Structure 1
């Protein structure tokens, strides 16, 4: 049995009242001036997969999907913005099926929990901040820090170390070394260059 989504009544500009279903989230997939334009050297955006999974998982009444328009951080290519319960989570280089499926699994887990959850480990290398004011908020969501624990100041938020490499062996070494680092060491994230 499906539970009813909360609604609100909105008076439209033409004087007509509209019952509007309130969403928990909104997923924006960039397909603007750069993202998905293979003729400019960018990988294709898996837009059909984004839409089909959204339909298949029946997320329409809880999560809105928008594909198209430039989201802004063009140098990163294939950008996705998830606004969930008022928190913005930015992802870059979303080119593959496993990324899209993992993102939807993450969204469904948050909808089931009815709260924001930490970003899954597999997606963390693709998370970035686009706004200066969002640095503190994203630091809480990316890791295992509970969302309710707020650092006293932005100085308490330590930027992660990103290791970029073409060699898979380099990335495997970084993953192994992370296990040996002290607990208070900044996050180290390996990311393949493609």
Structure 2
């Protein structure tokens, strides 16, 4: 395939998405019917919509993201990488996510991750090269 054909077949989005926040609502996360801590899903969706964030910082409510031993998992995706957070059992971390999304939209690029979220950050995958976790 030559360069022109490659350009013509590569999907291009017209949206200027700066980040995506993926909230797990799968088999364990937020499952109060299984005595797990709740996730404020309705509040998140309503807040994202009211603040018109969806076109710049997308909110995705997903099925199981995998690390089921860490409840209430959120992943943030930006051009700089993917960041994982878990154990969000109060509303405060979700409020910080919303504030971060608003700041990101206002800046026009991903804002620094909130300090309040740092204690919840974890490494999703183990380094199989024999080194430390990344």
Question: How many residue pairs align between the two structures?
Answer: 125
Shift of 1:18: 8.7
Q: Normalising to structure 2: TM-score of the pair? A: 0.76
Q: Return closer, same or farther for 1:49/1:114 CA change in 2, 3 Å cut-off.
A: same
Among 59, 64, 84, the residue aligned to 1:90: 84
In the other structure, the counterpart of 1:81 is 75
Q: How far off its partner does 1:90 sit?
A: 1.0
* Counterpart-to-counterpart distance in 2, 1:76 and 1:45: 14
Name the SS for the 2:63 alignment partner: coil
Q: What is the Cα deviation at residue 106 of structure 1?
A: 1.7
Residue in structure 2 matched with residue 49 of structure 1 by the alignment = 43
- Give 1:62's match in structure 2, choosing from 52, 56, 66: 56
Backbone CA RMSD of aligned residues: 3.0
- Tell me if structure 2 keeps the 8 A contact 1:46–1:95: no
Shift of 1:77: 0.6
Match of 1:24 in 2: 18
Call closer, same or farther: CA 1:19–1:125 in 2, change over 3 Å: closer
Structure 1 residues 62, 93: CA separation in 2 closer, same or farther (over 3 Å shift)? same
Question: After TM superposition, where is structure 1 displaced by more than 6 Å over at least 4 residues in a row?
Answer: none
Report which structure shows greater RCO (CA 8 Å, sep ≥6).
2
Gaps of 5+ in 1: 1-9, 12-16, 134-153, 160-194
The alpha-carbon distance between structure 1 residues 84 and 42, as it changes in their structure 2 partners (threshold 3 A), is same
Cα distance in structure 1, aligned partners of 2:69 and 2:122: 12
Q: Deviations over 1:24-78 (max 9, x none)?
A: 1111110111111123231111101110111122111102111130111111011
* SS class of match (1:74): coil
Larger radius of gyration: 1
Q: When the two structures are superposed, what TM-score results if normalisation uses the length of structure 1?
A: 0.55
- Give the alignment partner of residue 112 of structure 1, picking from 92, 106, 109: 106
Shift of 1:123: 1.5
